[in-house]
Amino acid sequence: MEKKTFSLEMSENNRLTKAFRFILGVLCAAIAIYWLIFNMKMSKADWSSWVSSAFLILFGFYMVWTSFGYGYNFIEFESNIIRLKNNSFLPVKEINSADIDKIIIYPLKFLIILKTAKKILTRFGISDLERNENIKDELMRFAEVHNISLELRNET
């Protein structure tokens, strides 16, 4: 079986967007560091400057990190494994078909219930309904090939 990957992002990123994120991230971090140094020299550093600088540094780091593609959310189907990254900060989850008890598909989300009773919920979003249908079709095909219980439900 060939590997199929579907993006869970709201929009696809092009080079211009990635470059803008990188520049914005570096600029935010540089401004925060300059602000801290300037306030230290003027001995006016209070809690609000520390908080705003910490926010700018963290936001700058996040923008640089996502510009290199590390925050990319996706679902990938390969022979008997589903790789799922539905959170920008958490690592990729690899789910073996033998570990899956049931897959429940809703109109705007799906739920994978593991044999350990752990549940993995992924929300699609409403921006690209065609992509959502393609992911649902692939989930149904994966469940059928691996004899996994499948339910189609409406939102409740």
Q: In this structure, which topology does domain 74-152 adopt according to CATH?
A: PH-domain like (2.30.29)
Predicted local confidence at residue 73, as pLDDT: 84
pLDDT tier at 82, thresholds 50, 70, 90: very high
pTM of the model: 0.73
Residues 118-148: tens digit of each pLDDT = 999 988 877 778 888 999 999 999 999 999 9
- Domain range annotation of the chain: 15-67, 74-152
The neighbour count for residue 129, using CB atoms within 10 Å, is 12
Predicted local confidence at residue 74, as pLDDT: 86
Considering only CA atoms, which of 99, 115, 103, 112 is closest in space to residue 144?
A: 103
Cα 156 to chain centroid distance, Å, stands at 25
| Dihedral (CA of 81, 100, 110, 145) sign | positive
